[in-house]
Amino acid sequence: MVDNSYSLPTEYKFKRKDSDLALNYRLNDYFKVFVGAKYLGFSHSAGADFLAFGPGLGLSATFPITDNIFLLANLSGFYLWGEHKGSGNKYDYNQYGINSTLSLAYYIAPASTTVSLGGRFQRYKHVYELDYLVDGDVKFYGITLTATYSFSI
């Protein structure tokens, strides 16, 4: 009897890169819509690299608590085109998913900068162009700390 089963390591070590560039349009004092670009990449200890880039669209809300402290909420969707490299092979795939954040923010008026601390959840699916590769459903979540510089055009 031959065992052709394949098992993956039970634990991977990931190195993750995630970057967003967005332009906002203010709808009113509380809500903004935004459009932009997203870069998402990661590698893991099994020797694979994943890089993807594409557009995103979302809605953000800002609710004042005091003069300089705010509650921030964001929800966005994205669609990315990606490339998976590993074991000397290269595979194309597409990703689609959502990002959501909930944060407490402090606005530093003299610096036109907002510093926020909160939580983030991201879920996406990746679909390979080749039928014999396994599609995936990935979830990331954690604590975020950001600084955002604002200006008007």
pLDDT at 57: 97
3-state secondary structure of 109: helix
Average pLDDT, the chain: 88
Q: Around Cβ 31, how many Cβ atoms within 10 Å? A: 13
Choose the weakest-confidence range: 2-6, 17-21, 89-93: 2-6
- Please provide the CATH number assigned to the domain covering 14-149: 2.40.128.100
Q: Token pair 């990746």 is at which residue?
A: 126
Indicate the pLDDT class of residue 9, thresholds 50, 70 and 90. low
Which whole number is the average pLDDT over 10-29?
86
Give the model's pLDDT for residue 18.
86
Which segment of 4-8, 46-50, 115-119 scores lowest on mean pLDDT?
4-8
Q: What is the mean pLDDT of residues 77-88?
A: 92
Query: How far is the CA of 16 from the CAs of 1, 13, 21, 24, 58, in angstroms?
Result: 41, 10, 17, 26, 22
Of the pLDDT bands very low, low, confident and very high (cuts 50, 70, 90), residue 152 is confident
SS (H, E, C) 23-44: EEEECCCCEEEEEEEEEEEEEE
pLDDT band at 31 (very low <50, low <70, confident <90, very high): very high
Whether the pLDDT of residue 117 is over 90: the answer is: yes
> How is the chain split into domains, by residue range?
14-149
Nearest to 118 by CA among 96, 138, 148: 148
The candidate with the shortest Cα–Cα distance to 98, out of 42, 127, 141, is 141
Task: Assess contact for 60 and 74: CB atoms under 8 A.
Answer: yes
